Structure 1
Amino acid sequence: MKTTFTYKQVKGCCIKGDFYPSQEKNAPLIVYIHGGGLIWGTRKDMREEQINLYHQAGFNVCSIDYRLAPETKLPEITEDIRDVLHWLQEEGSKTYDFDASKMAVTGSSAGGYLALLSGTLTIRPKAIVSFYGYGNIIGDWYTKPSPHFLKMTKVPEHLVKQLIQSHTIAEAPIERRYAIYLYCRQQGKWIDYITSLNPRLNVAKLKAYCPVENIDADFPPTLLLHGNADKDVPFQESADMYQSLSNAGITTQLITIPNGEHSFDENMENPTVTKAFEQVISFLKSNL
């Protein structure tokens, strides 16, 4: 049975996680980070089919919230990921039955990015699985207007300003926040809104938040999954991350989903997706 916990409070905002226990004793733990461009989403976004799949394979599952941008900036969001890993190791392991030495971080899209970023922190997981995540936030795809999103209805800046809250938030539905992301992609201003830094003038500062630039010998084994027809996050992001990890001698694997678009894993009935999750389970069992 799911239980909800609060792992930190900031400015009156409770940041929570949902723990889904395995029936097996002292089983490994999978920490899931939701996507949403760091702008929307909630721990409740994790699909029930995936939770059940991990349970059947003998894993505990924990889906977490983190503070959302642009109300909170990327350095503080990164702190949330570090803090939840610390909380789970030090406090969560006293409350829940799991093996704190066998913890993996998974995530999709922006959650995949944060999962990869967790491999650069002072507290690191033992393995990482990134679904269509990205390693380079200062590439042209994020700092210049997106041809794909420019085909959509243009979002005016005044609407975006109306949607931004005056207080810290850690949960938000896509319906209330997607326009912020769409505006950022149409204008090439995602970095500006997420960090308040100019990507042309603050390259050195921003590289600290690019996983592909911060791979060391202790980077965890990493599995990357990406559709080669993704119009939101370019497939090349995972390809580049795979190459850099391989060059550094890190255990890594890239699973390409043929004709797979963004959020391909929502279609769990697709045989290609089913096979991909079998490979995810195998990777996790081999590296935890």
Structure 2
Amino acid sequence: MNHEQPKVSARVARVVFATRDGRAVAVEPGHFIGRSAAAALRLREPGVSEAHALVSLRGSSLRLLALRGRFLVDGVLETEVELEEGQEITLAHGVVLTVDEVSLPSRVLGLCGDDLPRQILPPIASLTTADGTRVTAGFVADHDALIWSDGERFYLRREGLEELEATPGLVFEVGARRFTFVSVPLEDSATPLTAQDDSCDTPLVIVARYDSVHVTQGHTQVIVTGLPARVLSELAVMQVPAEWDVVARELWPDDADPHSLRQKWDRTLSRLRRQLRTAGLRPDLLRSDGCGRVELILRTADQVIDET
């Protein structure tokens, strides 16, 4: 029997900010606002931090989280706020953003397949399989498949094959691998793919000090130092999925070469995973979603102490 999947919107969760200089800039969850060239909304103002605030999807709402700076919302100092149309957000003296639009479709398009857990698709996504199956936000030159939205529909393009409309239930192949488009409720796209029972593990206590991080679980303790500690500190403080290059540019601000930056990031993340694994800590603590975002999977009883 053919079970039809619920329809999805080609729109993605996003917030559109209006700036005082007349720009209207869309920012999606996991992207940040700041002075850095890597920011989704870049503000060349000395009072704005390189990574000032992050847009995050929590359940079925979009929130703005303070990173390296704080902000005023309608005159009130905040470190986190649910975004609503019409709000005025002051990041620094004379730097004011207006929330022009908040887009929250009820269902979004996802992709799953061989060696690929379910991923939520951004407006443009490149699927590659050469070095493990990966979905990367944006255009990647050596992609095996390209998926994108024109604002009304999603499309699938593979070299030498007919272009297809990407709809829930559509199955396609790349080499020997099979993939399926799926319909995902918006609230599910903001939570980890695999839920765990919080009672099956002793809670973690993570003390983040930037150049060192102390992670304690019961009688087990590991002290992470150097670059892996800085990655862990950034993620522990954010407590939301973050684009890898957002964190990487905080660590290596002078490296403008994306390929070099990615190599440094992969090596450092590998070292961090190895240290956590050797210490016998939870294997699901550090998670990459296959779309370029990475996060710490914290459970209800886990505690993060920010001493950065």
TM-score, L = length of structure 2: 0.22
Q: Larger helix proportion, structure 1 or 2?
A: 1
**Larger relative contact order (C-alpha < 8 A, sep ≥ 6)?**
1
Q: Larger strand proportion, structure 1 or 2?
A: 2
TM-score, L = length of structure 1: 0.23
